[in-house]
Structure 1
Amino acid sequence: MKSYSYPLDPSWSTDEITAVLSFLNQVEKAYESKVDAKSLLESYDIFKNIVKSKAQEKQIDREFEQSSGYSTYRAVQLAKEKGKGMIFLGN
């Protein structure tokens, strides 16, 4: 099990933190095993309702990729390309 920190905003509510963590967990699954593209995109939509600015989204992606090695951007792009079915970004 890997250990790293999640880029969370302390001003978010508990529900918002839970939703952001759910999205980041979906990204982790895309790299570590497989994840359903539709599920990842649904959690991304919820994430976008919390993180409205593109700049903040990019910052979260950068911080998450630095600490985990996983790109939220690449995971979402692959899920959008596939649309449905399982996706996998690991080696």
Structure 2
Amino acid sequence: MDYQYPIDYTWTTDETVQVIQFFQAVEEAYETGIGRDEFMAAYRTFKKIVPGKSDEKKLCGEFEELSGYSSYKAVMRAKELPEGGKLRIK
């Protein structure tokens, strides 16, 4: 990883950690694969911190520019999988 995660400096330390954990779950979906349920749990936590669609698009867009990994694509693919499945994006 040669980039920084996009964060909002108004978040608490705990919120920042949880947002970073979601972005790490996206990375894992691309790099090695992650359980669908684990990924969706990270996404639900992320959405509690970033409930607005415009804020989500902004942060995820910044993350994609920096990393090349699409959070949107990962979430859409995870929603298609059955519970207990494995999310792996190639």
TM over 0.5: yes
Percent of aligned pairs with the same residue?
42
The TM-score, its normalising length taken from structure 2, stands at 0.95
Contact 1:26 1:40 in 2 (8 A): yes
**Which structure 2 residues correspond to residues 11-90 of structure 1 after superposition, within 5 A?**
11-84=10-83, 85-90=85-90
CA deviation map 1:8-49 (0-9, x unaligned): 000000000011011111000000111111111011001000
Contact 1:34 1:86 in 2 (8 A): yes
**1:52 Cα shift?**
1.2
- Over aligned residue pairs, what C-alpha RMSD do you find? 0.8
| DSSP 3-state at the match of 2:40 | helix
- Between stretches 77-86 and 66-75, larger displacement belongs to 77-86
CA distance in 2, matches of 1:76, 1:49: 15
CA distance in 2, matches of 1:32, 1:38: 17
**1:50 Cα shift?**
0.3
CA distance in 1, matches of 2:80, 2:48: 21
Counterpart amino acid of residue 25 in structure 2: Q
| DSSP 3-state at the match of 1:6 | coil
4+ residue segments displaced more than 6 Å: none
